[in-house]
Amino acid sequence: MSREIKIYDTTLRDGTQGEGVAFSMEDKVRIAQRLDALGIHYIEGGWPGSNPKDLRFFKRVQDAVFKTAKISAFGATRRPGVRPQDDANIQALVEAGPPVVTIFGKSWDFHVTAAIGTTLEENLAMIGDSVAYLLKHFEEVIYDAEHFFDGYKRNPEYALRTLLAAEAAGAHCLVLCDTNGGSLPHEIAEIVAHVKRTLKTGTPLGIHAHNDVECGVANSLTAVGQGIDHVQGTINGYGERCGNANLVSIIPNLMLKMGLECIPRSNLHELRDVSRFVSELANRKPWASQPYVGDSAFAHKGGIHVSAVLKHPETYEHTDPELVGNHRRVLVSELAGQSNILWKAREYGIDLDKNTPDARRILDMLKRLEDEGFQFEGAEASFELLMERALGNHRPYFDLDGYRVIVEENNGDDEEPVAEATVRLKVKGIPEHTAASGNGPVDALDHALRKALEDFYPSLKEMTLLDYKVRILDESKGTAAKTRVLITSGDGDETWGTVGVADNIIEASWQALVDSIEYKLRRDDKKGRR
């Protein structure tokens, strides 16, 4: 087996320092279990001395079974002039009682004298005493050398002495931290190499990088390249300021690019799910361009490029997306050559052979519509209907005679303006004329349309509008500009997007509404229900 890199996750501690990231205690337990299932080696649960919620987490996980992961508590070395057994923070670590403890100490002489106001010698004693004391209570003691790289750049000799103090006391791993996240890969390489030469001991080293100059992942990999076998980071790179080193990129880089072992190979395909799971619980929107796992990470747009990807994926993809649980996407756009359409058509079960009149007709229609401002990314349902129309397979579910929308503002009255819509149409040859009010003109139109159709198509009652987005296409024209409306609808079973473009917002909304209803009815027909 090749070299194994231990992964130390600190999403639950350092990750929660990120703006807008907060987890309840139950969230933390669920994340810990998910990370354990992925095969992460260490999970840092929190800082029991700083936060009572964290202490409760450690009590809660004492009975939980973890297959791979060891739970770790985080804290500081003892305070100056206080014995470890008398230090409240250290006692909180002991009380938390997980198998592993990680304590951080100062490596930068300036921090010792200016921030904690003690002598350089006392700081070394604080490190040594704390490690030695904690070894009596824990299976493993990890020492985080805070501000190591910054300290080393100013006073290498003192920074190294702090590591030696932790090592002499028996720490199991010495983690070099780029706490301010400002170091570059070539500096990390030089300093790690120098530390290894100077220490000349067998104590494993680790790396804890932050992303302030966007080198969190690069610095972690560089350290591994220099022989470091313990990497700390967070899921999706959550963390203070610009975040921590992102484990969701580090793990596949180690395994797929550097040929090293870390989590079990059979679990690697869970990576995207884990990334989504944590962003869901953190209530953070997934990052579309996130390397390896983002929606756009393997999305292809250009025409020639797409035909190449379909023949030989390696031409435009650095790795197989399925390995990390992602998948290839082909986007429909004005750049589309025919192969995009064929791919998309195949996805929808419509069989089109290259260069057939059908394929050419769909392509022409698409180009004309995109010229007018239509965009089918996010509106796959409208694209599917477009293909049907181009193929002559489209069967309308109703014929519109006309609609009218009135918005009435009563002067001098505090109430909101009232919107009312009337719709005249024929369903199965029967004329219908309905009126409805609503919360704004589009809502009123939606109600009137449903009122006319629901008796004929009761399954429409299951359908709701989930999202409504408006984009003004040529902003320089002001109110005369074209408007694009994107609607997302759902029926509990599926969600789908539709689009409309017109000179006015009501007409654009109407188009997207009608597509949404047609899509729902057509899909129900295909399933043989309704």
- Residue ranges that bind Zn ion, judged by CB under 5 A: 14
Is the sign of the CA dihedral 74, 80, 85, 87 positive or negative?
negative
Rank residues 44 and 420 by Cβ distance to Zn ion and give the closer one: 44
What is the SS3 assignment for 434? strand
Rank residues 240 and 384 by Cβ distance to Zn ion and give the closer one: 240
Query: Closest distance between Zn ion and the C-beta of residue 42, in Å?
Result: 14
Rank residues 16 and 253 by Cβ distance to Zn ion and give the closer one: 16
Please report, for residues 38, 308, 338, the alpha-carbon distance to residue 363 in angstroms, rounded to integers and kept in the order given. Answer: 44, 19, 7
Taking the C-alpha atoms of residue 234 and residue 215, their distance in angstroms, rounded to an integer, is 14
Rank residues 244 and 498 by Cβ distance to Zn ion and give the closer one: 244
- State phi, psi for 132 to the nearest 5 degrees: -60, -40
Rank residues 74 and 496 by Cβ distance to Zn ion and give the closer one: 74
Which one-letter amino acid corresponds to residue 426?
K
Residue that is written with structure tokens 């009435």 in the block: 408
CA-atom Rg of the chain in angstroms = 30
Task: Tokens for 370, please give them.
Answer: 């995109």
Find the angle CA(505)-CA(506)-CA(511) to the nearest 5 degrees.
100
Rank residues 179 and 253 by Cβ distance to Zn ion and give the closer one: 179
3-state secondary structure 144-194: EEECHHHHHHHCHHHHHHHHHHHHHHCCCEEEEEECCCCCCHHHHHHHHHH
Please report, for residues 33, 495, 519, the alpha-carbon distance to residue 380 in angstroms, rounded to integers and kept in the order given. Answer: 36, 10, 10
Query: Closest distance between Zn ion and the C-beta of residue 186, in Å?
Result: 21
Which of these, 287, 288, 271, lies nearest to 323 by C-alpha position?
271
Query: Closest distance between Zn ion and the C-beta of residue 47, in Å?
Result: 11
- Report whether 105 contacts 65 (CB < 8 A): no
Query: Closest distance between Zn ion and the C-beta of residue 150, in Å?
Result: 13
Rank residues 14 and 384 by Cβ distance to Zn ion and give the closer one: 14
Rank residues 112 and 177 by Cβ distance to Zn ion and give the closer one: 177
Rank residues 83 and 241 by Cβ distance to Zn ion and give the closer one: 241
Query: Closest distance between Zn ion and the C-beta of residue 41, in Å?
Result: 18
Taking the C-alpha atoms of residue 426 and residue 450, their distance in angstroms, rounded to an integer, is 13
Task: Tokens for 197, please give them.
Answer: 């030469």
Task: Tokens for 492, please give them.
Answer: 């509990």
Taking the C-alpha atoms of residue 517 and residue 439, their distance in angstroms, rounded to an integer, is 19
Which of these, 277, 373, 360, lies nearest to 333 by C-alpha position?
373
User: Which position's Cβ is nearest Zn ion?
Assistant: 14
Helix %, strand %, coil % of the chain (to 5): 45, 20, 35
Taking the C-alpha atoms of residue 112 and residue 103, their distance in angstroms, rounded to an integer, is 16
Rank residues 84 and 237 by Cβ distance to Zn ion and give the closer one: 237
